[in-house]
Chains A and B, each alone.
Chain A
């Protein structure tokens, strides 16, 4: 079976891992960095992803996209409260968010695909082979739209997404593999943008998720914002500087607030400095850990509600939990460790690097799917109740939250009016009573033969697969005929659109590579032209270094190179570079000899080794 990699597509950082024999391993770049910042920048020079894009945050804030995961599978109205915190422009088209960078409009899955491509390229370089199959993790509390969007991102990046795995479950896999534990485990996963809590039972290599809960809009980003608000307010009142309309300044504050937050995990006090524009001096402020804790207390408390909910759904009390595992960068905050410890009455485990543990678990799941690991099995659940809208706008549930997946449910439909030829089916996901308060996943019309009211009988089957993704089929009970239903996602890109993007991405990949090769060739050409100029100048100072034939040849080669540089073909440029190299070689050699002799002339004999 072809190689399968495991990917943690995070809000802040992303990683890629694989099974190295029996050990999951994260792939690092040449500099030994395992984290790829989940940031994409479109600069005038071209597309940048990861660390290179991170550097653009404060220089080109309106062209640099970060935390895109918060927009996956969402509509604009879902995220309107937090739009003020983003330096890039968002609109909506056909229910899908569009991110504007320069003259481009891209969907969140397209941006995520760029991050995935970067990870894919990293793995391909590492293995020296093409990577086509991957396991990608998502927050456990992601709904169907968000999972679909993640799968779409994988497809656009040219990956066959073998499995969508929940992040806390993946962490449990990595943890359980190392420790060979039995018992009840709580995984508390607080990342950059999302919070998940999962309760698992570990027994004989089976990882059975009993309950999961969370908040897909709560994480480290929100802590940064609390600090940012204080800083922005003080900059305004003390220095009279308005940040509105200065996206680069807002970004600078955001970055510095994030750094201060991280320092406060190990230090009791830290100073935040921020140079202000137009000679308004420098904002300087010292934050104590206690002050920071007061700012984020309410948010930290907010994570305990889903935690208690998950325990209740699992039919357990906090004392029944044998081990607590911390995952996600935000769990480095001492206040969070204290709160978790207080709730469960035992110190949490954090031996595994909280940044890497999810990717490692994705690697383990990849190993299971590839057939390399046969003694472990993950039994996960669907996080949210799935149902349909019935008369009066009420949601009737078909599959309840925390049901082990895969699972299915059937519902019989009929007509209200004589001769009715179709029924409307509105699929919902969520825990609220009324349809309008829940997530609308899809709507579709079911064709029905015209018959008296209540005579037609159509059986609709909902199936949730091992990825937690829903599919729907319908069967006319009278005729036994099956209908394929086209479910148009309410907040996702259509399959056709995904197809188009995959094609485009392939075409652009070719274009991107060609463009990069051209730029590299031009850069090289420019440096050799400069070197030739220098050599010619030196040759002019000393007679006899160059013959007139050589001089003509060099001049001709230079002209040819300059001509090639105006074209788009990097191969022609390379040829011309070769030509100039050949023509100037005799001169270069003589120059070397000459300068060596010159250098020796100026030295005493004893100095020559």
Chain B
């Protein structure tokens, strides 16, 4: 999917029609301007589309923009200004929280760059196939065991606990790999010239990241099931 166009901010003030040149406030009439509809969360927060973000600076920017847009500061203003303030604040809040969390950040990037769905479906890691099958069986068995405090139940639970740590190790490994891919992506974004080779490498990177996320999602669901079973 092609998403290379530079998002165009509105060029004219809704109030006095003067040129606003992408600023938050019109320089003529000082009215607040809507964040452009086409703009993505990275652009809205003035960031390049990179995956390693200085979260301290992100927070500073978020606070600064909150001071500019929050509805608290528009109480006595016109209906249009209040509507702009509300819409901008909502976009800003979503943008900040999406980009603050590394997983949500990469999921969002995948949506932008590769038209990925909002929820990436889980996929079992192939190297853990046997373990995963065993866990499935044990979860089923545990359900059928009447007395979980009995020896059969206890044995199943201790097996599940051991397998849980296998899954957790795998998840940590996936996250480590994801961090490497973040780094590779950021280098690609900065690399020039912007040519066909770069495009292909980017697509490969996106595909790998998506793959890791779907394995991670699968593991998370499985870990949640185990936690649920052990709780009872």
Contact = CB atoms under 8 A, between A and B. Distances in A.
Interface string B68-93: 00111101100000000011011101
Contacts of B70: 377, 379, 466
B96 A404 contact: yes
Given A466-B70, A466-B72, A406 B63 contact: no
B75 A465 contact: no
A408 B72 contact: no
A1 interface: yes
B67 A377 contact: yes
A406 B76 contact: no
A221 B183 CA distance: 56
A206 B96 CA distance: 15
Given A368-B72, A465-B71, A466-B72, A206 B89 contact: no
Contact of A369 (B67, B72, B87, B93): B72
A405 B97 CA distance: 11
B36 interface: no
B90 A407 contact: yes
A406 B90 contact: yes
A403 interface: yes
Interface in B42-69: 59, 63, 66-67
Chain B binding surface SS class: helix
B199 interface: no
A466 B71 contact: yes
Given A377-B66, A407-B93, A371 B75 contact: yes
B94 interface: yes
B93 A463 contact: no
B102 to A, nearest CB: 12
Given A368-B72, A369-B75, A371-B75, A404 B97 contact: yes
Contacts of B71: 406, 465-466
Given A204-B63, A206-B66, A406-B86, A370 B75 contact: yes
A162 B82 CA distance: 13
A403 B97 contact: yes
Nearest to B71: A466
Contacts of B72: 163, 365, 368-369, 377-378, 466
A203 interface: yes
A406 B89 contact: yes
Interface string A514-557: 00000000000000000000000000000000000000000000
B93 A405 contact: yes
A365 B75 CA distance: 12
Interface string A426-469: 00000000000000000000000000000000000001011000
A404 B67 contact: no
B94 A407 contact: yes
Given A368-B72, A370-B75, A466-B70, A404 B86 contact: no
A320 B89 CA distance: 28
Contacts of B91: 408
Nearest to A370: B75
Contacts of A378: 72
A65 B37 CA distance: 51
Contacts of A369: 72, 75
A557 to B, nearest CB: 57
Contacts of B67: 206, 377
Contacts of A374: 73
A408 B94 contact: yes
A531 B91 CA distance: 74
A403 B93 CA distance: 8
A329 B125 CA distance: 54
Nearest to A400: B97
Interface in A382-397: none
Nearest to B96: A404
B146 to A, nearest CB: 25
A1 B76 CA distance: 7
Interface string A497-524: 0000000000000000000000000000
Given A407-B90, A463-B90, A379 B76 contact: no
Interface string A393-420: 0000000000111111000000000000
Contacts of B76: 1, 371
Task: Among B71, B86, B90, find the residue whose CB has the most chain A CB atoms closer than 10 A.
Answer: B90
Given A206-B63, A379-B66, A1 B75 contact: yes
Contacts of B90: 406-408, 463
B12 to A, nearest CB: 21
Contacts of B63: 203-204, 206, 208
Contact of A404 (B75, B87, B93): B93
Nearest to A4: B75
Contacts of B66: 206, 377, 379
Interface of A: 1, 162-163, 203-204, 206, 208, 365, 368-371, 374, 377-379, 403-408, 463, 465-466
Interface of B: 59, 63, 66-67, 70-73, 75-76, 86-87, 89-91, 93-94, 96-97
Given A377-B66, A406-B90, 11 more contacts: A1-B76, A369-B72, A370-B75, A374-B73, A377-B72, A377-B73, A404-B97, A406-B93, A463-B90, A465-B71, A466-B89
Closest 4 CB pairs of A and B: A404-B93, A408-B90, A406-B90, A466-B71
18 contacts: A1-B76, A204-B63, A206-B63, A371-B73, A371-B75, A371-B76, A374-B73, A377-B66, A377-B70, A377-B72, A379-B70, A403-B97, A404-B97, A406-B90, A408-B87, A465-B71, A466-B70, A466-B89
